[in-house]
Amino acid sequence: MSSQSDYGVLKQVFLKNPTAAFISQENIDQQWEGLNYHSRPELDKAVLEYAHFESLLKSRGAEVFYFSSNESVSIDSIYCRDATIITDHGAIICHMGKAQRVPESIACRADYNSHNIPVLGEIRAPGTIEGGDVAWIDQHTLAVANGYRTNDEGFRQLSDLLKPFNISLMQVDLPHFKGPSDVFHLMSIFSPVDQYKAVVYSPLMPVRFRNELLDRGYQLIEVPEAEYDTMGCNVLAIAPSECIMVSGNPITQRRLEAAGCTVHTYDGEHISRKGEGGPTCLTRPLVRI
């Protein structure tokens, strides 16, 4: 069992359901525009979508824990991957690059304490880092973005925390793309689905990173341009070559199936597309095997 994997069988996972994150429709109405959502989520529809998504997670027998409701955080807290990083040696508390999300990490730490989950350390300002900018290439190699949500100082602090544990960090420079107000993470272009298999959007991938994956023997499953904005590249592995993705990406789904993957889909209009947070964003995996 390990916390240092993004493709093993999911055994333990933290979630934050819409009732806890969104709290009320009034709360959504007050926040969604300021947080750069594409349009207004509807709480009742979000609850129904999430119930289906959660059932897919539990289909492999995963034990689910829940982040608690907290009025200090925004509706973005439904995307609970971003506030922390999990290692075999404990959780790392992030300092978020999006200012409105900074309180989330403090709230997550309180929930970890209540579940007796050890905390290895935390990233402090001026360092920034978000969990969506971090992905395990293998059990001892962690890819970490350099972009608008994660900076060099955050990378340096994370490197210092992980240095005693023989974990190598691979820095991945992200493009400007749509600018600092957009939700653009490393996992917007890279989602591992097996030991040497990943869904990628090559037009936005740094050449050095893409070549490194190929040199390591990765099979790259390409997302077409038409399915990038519909979150075709945001794919969550719940077991090796078994994954969950947002519905409405048929080309990517067929390519995954052709590569030997079992694919489950969910309707994510209100919990994913409007806030640009797919299945990886909605989960904070703790343990895989």
The model's pLDDT over 81-109, given as tens digits with 9 standing for 90+, comes to 999 999 999 999 999 999 999 999 999 99
Q: Hey, how many other C-beta atoms are within 10 angstroms of the C-beta on 52?
A: 14
pLDDT exceeds 90 at position 38: yes
Q: What is the mean pLDDT of residues 153-157?
A: 98
Q: Domain ranges for the chain, please list them.
A: 10-288
Confidence band for 60, pLDDT divided at 50, 70 and 90: confident
What mean pLDDT is reported for the chain?
A: 97
pLDDT exceeds 90 at position 185: yes
Q: Is 166 left (phi over 0), alpha (psi -120 to 50) or beta?
A: left
Spatial CB neighbours of 13, under 8 Å, sequence gap ≥ 6 = 57, 62, 63, 64, 65, 283, 284, 285, 286
Question: What is the CATH number assigned to the segment(s) 10-288?
Answer: 3.75.10.10
Q: What is the mean pLDDT of residues 257-277?
A: 98
Q: What is the mean pLDDT of residues 135-150?
A: 97
The model's pLDDT over 117-140, given as tens digits with 9 standing for 90+, comes to 999 999 999 999 999 999 999 999
Q: Give the β-pairing of 197-200 and 190-194.
A: antiparallel
pLDDT of amino acid 41: 98
pLDDT of amino acid 196: 98
Is the pTM here over 0.85, yes or no? yes
46 and 98 Cβ atoms separated by less than 8 Å: no
The model's pLDDT over 20-30, given as tens digits with 9 standing for 90+, comes to 999 999 999 99
pLDDT of amino acid 34: 96
The count of residues in the chain is 289
pLDDT exceeds 90 at position 278: yes
